């Protein structure tokens, strides 16, 4: 029971980090300190260094040669496609729009889990997904943001494709997390991912004027690299070892709530009755999906 509780706490931490990430990353883009493709290299490169450094202090685990291809494919969807489309999309759209579209991810994961992992989809789980989706859509449709967006339609399209890539990644690492310790495959995931994204962002990275960074921008970049990348990619697989992939996916519905509160704290959004009701729907939906009834003793 405790291990399941720890997994749920880990998932909540992931959503907090991701929820704050929408605004922090957007701040860096809006002020033109770092381009989205250069930011991808910073995220992946920084996390790669952290994962490999930490792995030096952990027991070594032998990897089957046939699984390296699985690591590579997870890197393609979970690092390369996922991060490039997310940060490029976030540059073009708003944090609230982005957090709205991300809520489609649990639906994709639920379908893939039933097809690939043969997970049982109960009526209660479907009800939880519908409640959470309804609340998330209501929250984000009525949400307002004063942040500039160059091309909302294109940005939203990139975020939607990012959600599909992330869903495939969750299914892939669900299978790997049952076989390896999270650090074993994540360090390889990011190493492969770094070489995948490097050609796309090296030009933007060379154009970054590091001396122009303010303390606030430096903090935002470090938060995205250490918290929203290293932290989330470490905690998600740990949660997957104790929870179903579809359960992990539905927690994404919390991101609009967190992103909305943080946007209000930063002065770019307001609270009203509709948003409060929407948030309640999200919390109830997440609870229903994560609820595991006690087994009756025979």
- The share of the chain scoring above pLDDT 90, in percent, equals 29
In angstroms, the Cα distances linking 268 to 96, 135, 146, 172, 262 are 10, 20, 6, 37, 9
Residue 140 has pLDDT above 70, yes or no: no
Confidence of residue 143 (pLDDT cuts 50, 70, 90): low
Pairwise CA distance, residues 130 & 285, whole Å? 7
Confidence of residue 79 (pLDDT cuts 50, 70, 90): very high
Residue 157: half-sphere exposure toward Cβ, Cα within 13 Å? 4
How do residues 12-60 score in pLDDT, each as one tens digit?
Answer: 899 899 889 888 888 888 778 898 999 999 999 999 999 999 888 888 8
Q: What is the pLDDT of residue 297?
A: 46
Q: What is the pLDDT of residue 128?
A: 80
Residue 10 has pLDDT above 90, yes or no: no
The answer to whether 215 touches 37, Cβ cutoff 8 Å, is no
């Amino acid at each position: 029971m405790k291990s399941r509780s720890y997994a749920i706490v880990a998932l909540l931490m992931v959503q907090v980090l991701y929820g704050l990430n929408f605004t922090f990353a957007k701040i860096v883009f809006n002020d033109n300190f770092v381009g989205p493709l250069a930011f991808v290299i910073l995220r992946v490169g920084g996390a790669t260094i952290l994962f490999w450094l930490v792995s030096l202090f952990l027991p070594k685990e032998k990897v089957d040669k046939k699984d390296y291809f699985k690591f590579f494919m997870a890197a393609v969807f979970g690092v390369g496609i996922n991060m490039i489309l997310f940060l490029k999309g976030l540059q073009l759209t708003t944090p609230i729009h982005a957090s709205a579209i991300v809520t489609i991810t649990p639906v994709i994961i639920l379908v893939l889990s039933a097809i690939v992992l043969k997970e049982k989809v109960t009526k209660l789980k479907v009800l939880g997904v519908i409640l959470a989706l309804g609340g998330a859509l209501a929250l984000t449709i009525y949400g307002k943001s004063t942040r500039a967006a160059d091309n909302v339609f294109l940005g939203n399209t990139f975020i939607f494709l990012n959600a599909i890539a992330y869903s495939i990644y969750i299914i892939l690492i669900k299978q790997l997390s049952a076989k390896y310790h999270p650090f074993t495959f994540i360090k390889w995931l990011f190493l492969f991912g770094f070489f995948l994204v490097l050609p796309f962002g090296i030009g933007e990275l060379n154009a970054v004027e590091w001396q122009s960074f303010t303390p606030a921008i430096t903090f935002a970049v470090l938060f995205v690299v250490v918290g929203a990348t290293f932290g989330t990619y470490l905690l998600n697989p740990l949660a997957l070892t104790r929870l179903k992939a579809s359960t992990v996916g539905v927690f994404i519905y919390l991101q609009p709530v967190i992103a909305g509160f943080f946007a209000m704290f930063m002065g770019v959004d307001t609270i009203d009755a509709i948003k409060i009701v929407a948030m309640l729907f999200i919390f109830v939906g997440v609870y229903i999906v994560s609820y595991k009834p006690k087994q009756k003793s025979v």
